[in-house]
Chain A
Amino acid sequence: MKKMRFLTRVVPFCGVFAALVACGDMDLFDYDEIGIEGEMSPTLTLPVGTGSLTIWDVLDSQDNDYLFVSGDTLVFEYSEPGIIDDMKVEEFFDVNSIDIEFETSPIDLGEQGATLSEKVQTEGIWASTKIGFTDGVEVSELDFWADFKLEIPATDFEYTLEIRVDELYMHDGTPFHREIVGVPGKAYSEVNNLEFDARFVGEPIFHIEYKIEVPAGEVISGDVHIEMSLSNLEYKFAVGDFSGMEPVSLDPGYFSLGSVDFLEEISGSFSFMEPVVSLKVRNCGIGIPFFADVYMQAYNKDGKSAELEFKDGYSAIVPANSDPDKVVTSVVEFNNQNSTIVDFFSLPPTGDVYYEGTLGVVEHEKRDTIWHTASVGIDVDVRVPFVIDAEGMVYNDTINDISISDVEDIERGVLKLVMKNSIPLNITLSAISLLDANGTVLTNLLPEGDGSILAPEGDTPAESTIIFNLDGNDFEQLAKSESLLLGIVVSTDGVATVKSTQGLEFMMVVSAQADLSDFIE
C-alpha cells in the first residue's frame, strides 16, 4: 500500500517533467542562411536632392574658358589672336631697292692749257634715276636713309662747285646744297649715310643743278668729273596718293572653335540673334584708310556649312594711323545688321573656321602717309550673347562619373523632378540616356508625357513636374552606368535673352520599391 502511495506521488511528477521534454526544432535557430518570403518590397518616397541652379552653373561647368557673364547676360566669347599676324608694309607697298645714280658727265670748262684771264663759270642740270614705287601709288614725299656719295677727282686747278638737288632736302628741312672749293691736286670725296627728305612734283626723279666756277689765273688742264649717288636707300615714310594701289589679299587660314564644348553640344533649329564677330585690326603706321573685306566659312558637326560675310554694299573701313610708334586698333564688326552672322551661328559652327579676305585702300582726296615700319594685324573676337530664338534647339549635356550603387534590387520606382523655371525657355527633357564607360547607351529613360518644363510667365517662375517610371531593368542599368546623357530640347516664345542669374529650382523625389530580401539574407 505504501508502495502504491509512493507511485501515485512520483509518477505524476515525472509525467510533468516528461511533458516538458523539449520537442522544438533547433534548426529554426540556425540563422546562418536565412531567406525572405512574403511581401518585403517597401516603397520609399524620399527627396534625394534639392537645389537651385543658374544657367551659368550649368554652362560654366563644361570646362571651357569661353563663357562669360556680361552684365547679367550670358555670353559666349572666343578670341583668336593673329589670324593676320603683323603683315609688314612691304607686302603691299614698297620702294624699289635700286641705287639712284645721277647721270653725270664730265663738265667741260672750255679751253685748256691757257691761263684764265677771267673766271670761267658753267652750270647745268642732270636728272636722276626714277624711283620705283608699288603700282598705282603716287608718292609726293619720301623720307629715307641712304648712303650718299659725292666724289670729284683731283684737278690741277682750283675751282668752286655748287650743287643743288631741287627735290632733295636734308632731314632738318633745308634744301640739299653742296658748295665745294676744289684745291689743285686734291680730290673731293663725301660718303655718308644720311637721312633725306625727297619731295616730288610729278614723277619721282631728282634733278641736280650744278654751277662751277674757275677763278682767273688758273690754267684749266682737264674736265671736272662729278660722281654722285644715293645707294642702299631705305625709306622711312612715304607720303602720297595710294588710292590706286591694288587690294591686298590676306593669307587665308583657319581658326578653331573646336574646343568650345557648348557649340559641340547644341543642334537643331535655333538662332542666336545678336552674335558679333569682331575683326580687331591693329594698324601701326599705315596712314591710309582702308577697307577690310573678310569672308568666313564654317561647318557644323553634321557637315553643313554656312558663310559669314558682309551684306552687299557694306564696307568695313579701317581708319588711318599715321603714327608709327602707336598701334591703333580698329574694330570691324560682323553683326546681325551688316552680315550673315545670324545664319552663320545658327549652324552652329564647330571645329575650324576658314577665313580669307582683302584689304584695299579707300579712295579719297587726302594724301596719306605710310611708314616703312608699318604693319597690320588682325585678331578675331567672337561674341555670342544668349539671345536666342529657338524652335527646337537640341542640347545634349553629359553628366560624367556617375556612381550609383545598391539599386540593383529595386524592382520599380518613380523619379519625379519638380522644377521651378525662371529661364525664359520652354525646356523639354526628352530622355535620359544611361551610358557605359565606352559611351554606349545602356538604356533610355523616357519621361511620362512630353517631359516639358514650362517657361516662366514674366518674372514668375513656372513650376513643372517630370516623372520617369523606372522598372527593375532601368535600375539595373543605372547601377552599370558611368555617365548620363540628358537630351534637352529648348524653344522660345519669340526672342529670349538668357541671363546668367536665371535658372531652375529643382527637387528630385525618388519613390522606389525595393526587394529587401537580399539585404536580409
Chain B
Amino acid sequence: MKMKRFLIACVALLCAATQLYAQDGNNTAFLLPNAAHRYRMNAAYQPEYKSVVGIPVLSGINFGYMNNSFGIDEILFKRSSYECDSLILDVDALRSKMHKDFRIHTNLDMNILSVAFRTGKKSYFSFDVGVKLDAGFGFDKALVDFIAEGNAPYLGSVQSLGGMALDASAYVEAAFGYSRIINDQWTVGGRLKVLFGALDANVKNTQISLESPANGESVLIKSRQEIYLSAPITGIPIGTAMPIEDFFNDIDFDAELMTDAMSNLGFAVDLGATYKFNDDWTFGASVNDLGFINWKSNVYKLVSDDEFNWEGADLSNSVNENDPDYVEVDDAFENMVDSLTSSFTVLASNDSYCRMLNAKVNLHATYHLNKRVNFSALVRGVAMADKFYPSMTLAANVRPVKNLGLSVSYSVYEGNFANIGIGIAPRFGGVQPYLVVDNVLAGNFTHARSASLRFGINFVGAAMFGKRAEKKGNAIAWRAD
C-alpha cells in the first residue's frame, strides 16, 4: 500500500514535470547512497564516515550542460556524399523543437579544498573551498521565427522578439558547514558561505519588439536591455550615451584588474533538514546557494532603451540633381541606416549591484525497501534570472555490499523525458571515488540535450557501522541511505 502511494505520487510528479526545466546535473548525485560528497549538496546530510577529506582539486568536479530544446543531431544531419553540402541545418526541426525561451546553460564547479568530520554522535562539521562558474545564454524562439517568417505575418500587431538572456558568473566559495542530529527523526544543517566574485554578467529587463501597422508603412523597432557587468575590462565610456556601434570600440581586457575581484564579497547559506517518518520513509528539504554577491569592483551598468521608427529612406531630395539639397539615393539609404544605428545607444555607469545566486530548492522522499535498496524521488528547482526552473528525478538506489553505492535514475525536464542517470560510489579502504551522471545517453553527445558529470575522490574515515563504532556506542546500522 505504501509502495502504491509512492508510485502514484511519482506519476503525479512526472506529469507535473511537463513544464520542468533542465538542471545543473546534480539530481542523481543528490540521491547516490552513502556518497560522502553529498554533504555539499544537502546541508543536513551527515556522511556515515567519521571524516571526509577531499583530494585537492579532484575531490569534486562537476560539469553540467543543458539545452532546453534539442540535441545537435535533432537539427543537423549529414547529406549524402554526392551533394555539395556536407551538413544540413533542418530549420523546421529547429523551430519545432526550440522552446519558447531557448536556453543553454553550463556550469562548472571545482572543489579545491574539502574537510569534513564528525564530532560526538550528533554533529558534523565541514569546510570547503571551491570555484564555481555558471553561464547561461538564451533567447526567445520568436527571434528564430522572425528570421524564418519575417514580419509580414505580424503586420498590424506587435511582434515581440523577446529578449536576450545572459546570466554568467564566476566566483570562489568558502563554506563552513554544520549538521546536527536533533533526534531520531530530525536532522538539520547549514552551511555558511563567503563568496568572492570574479566575473559576472547578466541581462535584465530585456525586450525587443517590432510593431508595424497593417499597411506596413513603418516598423517601430523597440529595444530595451539592461546589462550588469563586473569584468576586468577598460575603455567603457561612462556617463555618455553612445551609439552601440561606437560603444565597444575601445573596450579591452585588463588582467591586472582581476586582483580587484576580492572586493566583490558575497554571502550565502545552504540549509537542510531531513525527517525520518519511520523506518521506511524519509523526507527531506534543503535549499542551496541562498545568498548574494555584492558586485562592486570593475562594475558597469549598461542601459539601452531606445526605439526607432523605420519609415524607409527619405527620398524627397533624391530626384532632382539640380536641387542644392540633392541627396543621392545611396546616401539617403545610408543616412537611414546611420539614423537607425545612432538611435540605439548605450549609457554606461559604474553602479555597483547586488545579485542573488541561483538558489536551488530540493524536496526529496525516500522509501526504503530493505537495507540494500531504496527508491527516491527528488524535485528540484533552480531560481535563475527571475525564473524558476524545476525538474524531477526518480532513482533506485542500491547498496549491494557495504562499500558500494549505486544509483539508477530517471529524470524529467521540459520536453526531455529520456534522461537515464547512474551513479557509483565504491569505497576502497579510506578512499571513495565517485562518479555520477544524470544522463548516460549524453554519451551520444550529439543527441543529448543535457549532460552532467560529477566525479571526485575523497578520503573517508572509518564508517560508523564498524565494530569500533559499536564499541563506542555510536554505531549505526548500514543501509542504502
Contact = CB atoms under 8 A, between A and B. Distances in A.
The judgment on whether A and B are partners is yes
Contact of B320 (A38, A56, A418): A56
Contacts of A30: 86-87
Interface string B369-405: 0000000000000000000000000000000110110
B468 interface: no
Given A19-B443, A42-B146, A511 B152 contact: yes
Contacts of B90: 37-38
Interface string B194-230: 0000000000000000001001111100000000000
A58 B312 contact: no
Interface stretch (A46-54, A113-121, A447-455): A46-54
Interface stretch (B70-78, B133-141, B172-180, B184-192): B70-78
B314 interface: yes
Interface stretch (B19-27, B33-41, B420-428): B420-428
A49 B313 CA distance: 4
Interface stretch (A5-13, A83-91, A214-222, A314-322): A5-13
Nearest to B321: A61
Interface residues of A, number: 59
Contacts of A12: 404, 406, 424, 426
Given A42-B150, A47-B310, A36 B212 contact: no
Contacts of B89: 34-38, 520
Interface residues of B, number: 71
Nearest to A519: B147
Given A13-B433, A16-B435, A43 B87 contact: no
B380 to A, nearest CB: 22
Nearest to A4: B401
A16 B424 contact: yes
Contacts of A60: 320, 322-323
Contacts of B219: 45-47
A516 interface: yes
Nearest to A53: B319
A24 interface: yes
Given A17-B435, A34-B85, A509-B216, A48 B73 contact: no
Contacts of A28: 72-73, 76-78, 87, 446
A35 B87 contact: yes
Contacts of A20: 437, 440, 443, 453
Contacts, number: 198
Contacts of B218: 47
A23 B217 CA distance: 53
B233 interface: no
A454 to B, nearest CB: 17
24 contacts: A12-B426, A22-B444, A28-B73, A29-B72, A33-B85, A33-B86, A35-B89, A36-B89, A36-B91, A38-B91, A40-B91, A46-B151, A47-B219, A48-B313, A49-B313, A50-B315, A51-B315, A56-B320, A60-B320, A63-B322, A418-B215, A509-B215, A509-B312, A516-B147
B352 interface: no
Given A13-B426, A39-B148, A509-B217, 15 more contacts: A8-B400, A19-B440, A21-B443, A22-B443, A22-B444, A33-B84, A42-B147, A42-B151, A43-B150, A44-B151, A46-B312, A50-B316, A56-B320, A61-B319, A509-B216
A50 B313 contact: yes
Nearest to A397: B319
